[in-house]
Amino acid sequence: MSAIHRALAAVRGLFQRRRLEAELDEELRFHLAMETAAQLRQGASPEEAARRAALKLGGLEPTKEAARSARGYRGLEALGQDVRFALRLLRRNPGYAGAVVAALALGIGANTAIFSVVRGVLLHELPYREPDRLVVLHQRQPLDPDQEQGFSVPDIEDLRRRQHTFAGLAEYHSMWFNLLGRGEPERVQTGVVSANFFNVLGTRALLGRTFSPDDDKPGAQPVLVFSHAYWLRSWGGDPAVVGKILEMNDHPHRVIGVLPPVPQYPNDNDLWMPTSACPFRSDPQAIASRRARGYAVFGRLRPGATVSRARQDLATVNHALLAEYPGDYPTGGYRIEAVPMLTELTARARPTLLLLLATVLLVLLIVCANVANLQLARLSSRGDEIGLRTALGAGRGRLLRQLLTESVILALLGAALGIGVAATLLRALVAFAARFTSRTGDIALDGQVLVFTLAVAIVAGLLSGTLPALAASRGIAGAISAGGRGGSGGAGQAGSGRLRAILAGVQVAVSFMLLVGAGLTLRSVWKLQAVDAGFNPENVLAVAVDLDWAHYKTLPLRRTFQRALLEKARALPGTAAAAYSSNYPLDGLGRATSGVRVQGRAVADADLPQADFRFASPGAFAALGIRIERGRGIEETDRDGGPPVAVLGHGLASRLFGSEDPVGRRVTFGPGTPLWHTVVGVIADVRDLSLDRDPGGAVWLALDQNPALAGSLLLRSRRDPLDLAAAARRLVLDIDPRQPVGRVQTLETARAASLAAPRLTTLLLCAFAALALVVTVIGLGGVVAFGVVQRTREIGIRMALGADRGAILAAVLREGLAAVGTGLLVGAAAALLLAHVIARLLFGVPPTDPVTYLAVALLLVAVAALACLLPARRATAVQPSLALRSL
């Protein structure tokens, strides 16, 4: 505490200096008067008494200096003098100060913006009770770790009974339902959870309450909890929503609460309901079947339990279940993993955000190197001033402190301007991060981010100022000791010239790394855009029409609606083709998955090849532009009561039949009594889940034979497909006024949305790389220009002695490009070493792609040559007569 008190006293002393000086003078006069009186009492004359008193006190000025030092503000006072002197110098050089501040503002602002995103997404604590104890459970296929299997209700019950490391396990899945009771029907995404879900997460309701065990009992009154975003978006934040009765699934549901604004995973749900209120989850067959998997599980660890212990505990339970129910699990069983919830929420965002953070740090390094070069150039012109200060007694440490103070002040000014740059970038960065994670609510320029900005500014100031200050002080000291002028020492100039060349090489090396990263991602996005997705998205409109389960429980009711909708849709003016499908490519929705059995082959149920299912009407392949490779597609004859048919994707057909012709063969799906489907055709593989993923196994079944609840009306238009949106909406409401229309979008929009994240990542990397290139080119041109100025006399003498102007031009260019060559070699080696960092963000391009490396190298050489050309041409314009006169 004494050190803190001394520091506070020093600060107070700095701001109360006049009062303290007056008090010190008064105190010293008092002690002097007292000592003089004592000397008078001993018989000394007045003059002698005053002399003896002054001698005893040690002199007034030395005593004052000792008192000031004891108060601790002399160092702060000296720092204040340095700051005032630095500000005066910067006011006299506004061009230099403006250039440095602007460069630092860009570098520091970019770092502040990216760090605010990284902190809000990756570092900020989750808004739950004891969030470090929250985990997400995954059950994965043994042969395909990327395939998420999910849990069945019996799996979850067994885990709850047999595990020993969790204080609670909660069940979760998400579905779309139709909400009625407030004007036009509304389609809402609903999280279906066990009653303890919010207790496991540690989330309290903002209004009302969350679920209780009684809400999840069979026959309980259905209740709903609103998410915060839905409450604001659809209800305007009305607190009176709690207690309202709304209709869903043909039952009245009472709203009991509203959640606070917490991140949601794995879906952004509008509403939440207990499992007992879900018509699918409460089905007896779904509850009893161990193979009806697809539910997610969240857990809270017991106090003291670790994720490692939880994984061991889950593995023990998993092995026991495999031994007891071998027919319900594949060979070797599933693998259950426990992943910390923060890791799960940020898994997709982490690589991209860390890459961007590394990128802006490298940009800041280039900026610091450029600023250091500017300062070296400026210090060379201040040789007389610094030399004079050295001659008058200023030590090397004092000079270093003054020069570093100037550098840090520039960095702090740059940071102040950089906060505005960060605020400008932040909105776009939040929208960018939202494509990877729901944790964007914590992104803000708060106090901790500003502390980071201050720290970055100080480090940048010291980093950009230390080397120039050291080089300048050594060069000037050497010049003075040799008896020359401060700025003209040959050794000092040579040393600072070498340092400027090294700094320019560092900028080139780092720029090369950033440009390679940007070039690789640019080529990757270009290949992703050019990939053959297996369908034609042009002029196709998709209108989501997910039928209300309560009103369309039976298959005949669904068929009637879908037949009526298709008949009316095909009659719409401007429609080239109309169809209905359970899914369309890149719709962002999951797919129903099941095992496929070929007739005549004996394979255990658990080991069957898995396939994704779609249900489509006749004309769906024509509407989507999917090519039929063999056989036929789904036709009008494939109706209810006819032989069940199936169309296979190319990849699945190859896996099931190899080189054999699958047309005419029969397949069935899942366990139980087989319903054999005749394969009538094979279509081209479609990348309908993601453009950067290989097509999975796809099976298309006739919609009329399998009328699905969820689906979309597909309209291929002869003009702008959005012109059909309003008419399609009216068609649905004309058939059923209680049936809402969901998302309406073109397939071109869906494809563009699937490319949005890699495009934005590439755009940011290219923007930062371009900034680095510009700063590097400016710095390189400045180094060459300053070298020409310093060597004006030498160049003039060489030209007076007959040197060719072309030779002078070539020599200057060669010296400038030497730093480029060294930087390219270092940058290429570093880029190759760090290639694995960016590999996971690429598609169709290796991280060591020689075309990209060569193109970046040629680009840097070209722009560097242009940057060096102007000062090099200026060197050839030097007049020899002027150089000779200055000898």
pLDDT (tens digit per residue) in 318-337: 888 888 888 787 777 788 88
Judged on CB neighbours under 10 Å (0-12, 13-18, 19+), 208 is middle
CB count within 10 Å of CB 19 equals 10
Please choose, from the candidates 72, 64, 63, 70, the residue with its C-alpha nearest in 3D space to the C-alpha of residue 14.
72
Of 741, 764, 792, the last residue of a domain is: 741
Judged on CB neighbours under 10 Å (0-12, 13-18, 19+), 854 is exposed
- pLDDT of 883: 54
pLDDT band at 490 (very low <50, low <70, confident <90, very high): very low
Does 705 have pLDDT greater than 90? yes
- pLDDT of 264: 87
Integer-rounded Cα Rg, in Å, for the chain is 38
Mark whether 737 and 757 lie in a shared domain: no
- pLDDT of 549: 79
| CA 577, chain centre distance (Å) | 41
Cα separation, 347 vs 349, in Å, equals 6
End-to-end CA distance of the chain: 64
Cβ contact 886:557 at 8 Å: no
The highest-confidence range among 32-46, 180-194, 480-494, by mean pLDDT, is 180-194
- Asked whether residue 140 is assigned to any structural domain, the reply reads no
Cα separation, 458 vs 451, in Å, equals 11
Q: What angle do CA 323, 324, 326 make, to 5 degrees?
A: 65
Mark whether 732 and 597 lie in a shared domain: yes
Domain of 9, in residue numbers: 2-72
Does 229 have pLDDT greater than 90? yes
Q: pLDDT digits over 148-178, tens only?
A: 778 989 999 999 999 999 999 999 999 888 8
More confident residue, 198 or 496: 198
Q: Please list the alpha-helical segments (H only) found in 625-708.
A: 650-657
Q: What is the mean pLDDT of the chain?
A: 83
- pLDDT of 603: 78
Q: pLDDT digits over 548-597, tens only?
A: 877 888 999 999 999 999 999 999 999 999 999 999 998 888 787 888 99
- Asked whether residue 462 is assigned to any structural domain, the reply reads yes
Cβ contact 742:576 at 8 Å: no
**Secondary structure of residue 348 in the 3-state scheme:** coil
Pairing label, strands 677-683, 666-669: antiparallel
- Asked whether residue 440 is assigned to any structural domain, the reply reads yes
Cα separation, 476 vs 388, in Å, equals 10
pLDDT band at 648 (very low <50, low <70, confident <90, very high): very high
pLDDT band at 485 (very low <50, low <70, confident <90, very high): very low
- In the numeric block, the tokens 């400008």 are attached to 424
Q: Which amino acid is at 15?
A: F
Cβ contact 190:260 at 8 Å: no
Please choose, from the candidates 453, 465, 405, 375, the residue with its C-alpha nearest in 3D space to the C-alpha of residue 108.
453
pLDDT band at 263 (very low <50, low <70, confident <90, very high): confident
Cβ contact 471:498 at 8 Å: no
- pLDDT of 293: 83
The highest-confidence range among 12-16, 80-84, 724-728, by mean pLDDT, is 724-728
- pLDDT of 482: 43
Residue 612 parent element (H or E): strand 610-616
Cα separation, 832 vs 509, in Å, equals 12
- Asked whether residue 541 is assigned to any structural domain, the reply reads no
Does 801 have pLDDT greater than 60? yes
Mark whether 410 and 469 lie in a shared domain: yes
Mark whether 713 and 841 lie in a shared domain: no
- In the numeric block, the tokens 């139980």 are attached to 672
- pLDDT of 749: 93
Would you mind telling me the total number of residues written for the chain in this entry? 887
- pLDDT of 786: 65
Interval 731-738 mean pLDDT: 90
Cα separation, 104 vs 101, in Å, equals 5
Does 520 have pLDDT greater than 90? yes
- pLDDT of 118: 92
The highest-confidence range among 149-153, 408-412, 644-648, by mean pLDDT, is 644-648
- Asked whether residue 536 is assigned to any structural domain, the reply reads no
- Asked whether residue 138 is assigned to any structural domain, the reply reads no
Does 392 have pLDDT greater than 60? no
- pLDDT of 327: 79
Cβ contact 597:643 at 8 Å: no
- In the numeric block, the tokens 């007694």 are attached to 393
Cβ contact 792:883 at 8 Å: yes
Cα separation, 704 vs 706, in Å, equals 5
Cα separation, 325 vs 329, in Å, equals 7
More confident residue, 702 or 887: 702
- pLDDT of 794: 64
Interval 661-670 mean pLDDT: 91
Q: pLDDT digits over 247-262, tens only?
A: 998 889 999 999 999 8
Q: What is the DSSP letter of 843?
A: S
Cβ contact 573:718 at 8 Å: no
| CA 862, chain centre distance (Å) | 33
- Asked whether residue 95 is assigned to any structural domain, the reply reads no
Q: pLDDT digits over 417-435, tens only?
A: 999 999 999 988 888 888 8
Interval 293-321 mean pLDDT: 92
Mark whether 721 and 762 lie in a shared domain: no
- In the chain, pLDDT over 70 holds for what percent of residues? 81
Mark whether 379 and 447 lie in a shared domain: yes
Mark whether 457 and 506 lie in a shared domain: yes
Cα separation, 186 vs 741, in Å, equals 8
More confident residue, 2 or 223: 223
Pairing label, strands 610-616, 592-598: antiparallel
Among 53-57, 134-138, 238-242, where is mean pLDDT lowest? 53-57
Residue 341 parent element (H or E): helix 341-346
Does 622 have pLDDT greater than 50? yes
- Asked whether residue 113 is assigned to any structural domain, the reply reads no
Q: What b/e sequence results for 257-276 when a residue is b if at least 16 CB atoms lie within 10 Å of its CB, and e otherwise? A: bbbeebbbbeeebbbbbbbb
Cα separation, 235 vs 247, in Å, equals 16
Q: Which amino acid is at 460?
A: A
Cα separation, 300 vs 118, in Å, equals 25
Q: How many domains does the chain have?
A: 4
- pLDDT of 595: 86
- pLDDT of 280: 83
How far is the CA of 618 from the CAs of 15, 347, 566, 622, 637, in angstroms? 85, 40, 10, 9, 9
The phi, psi pair for 337, rounded to 5°, reads -120, 150
Does 873 have pLDDT greater than 70? no
Mark whether 365 and 418 lie in a shared domain: yes
Among 560-574, 675-689, 866-880, where is mean pLDDT lowest? 866-880
pLDDT band at 878 (very low <50, low <70, confident <90, very high): low
How far is the CA of 673 from the CAs of 614, 669, 676, in angstroms? 21, 10, 10
Among 51-55, 352-356, 645-649, where is mean pLDDT lowest? 51-55
Of 307, 333, 359, the last residue of a domain is: 333
Torsion of CA 86, 91, 92, 94, to 10 degrees: 120
Q: What angle do CA 146, 296, 755 make, to 5 degrees?
A: 50
- pLDDT of 855: 93
Mark whether 519 and 595 lie in a shared domain: no
- In the chain, pLDDT over 90 holds for what percent of residues? 40
| CA 112, chain centre distance (Å) | 13
Mark whether 180 and 272 lie in a shared domain: yes
Handedness of CA 882, 883, 886, 887 (dihedral sign): negative
Of 700, 717, 741, the last residue of a domain is: 741
Mark whether 721 and 621 lie in a shared domain: yes
Mark whether 590 and 660 lie in a shared domain: yes
Q: Which amino acid is at 383?
A: G
Please choose, from the candidates 390, 374, 391, 398, the residue with its C-alpha nearest in 3D space to the C-alpha of residue 468.
374
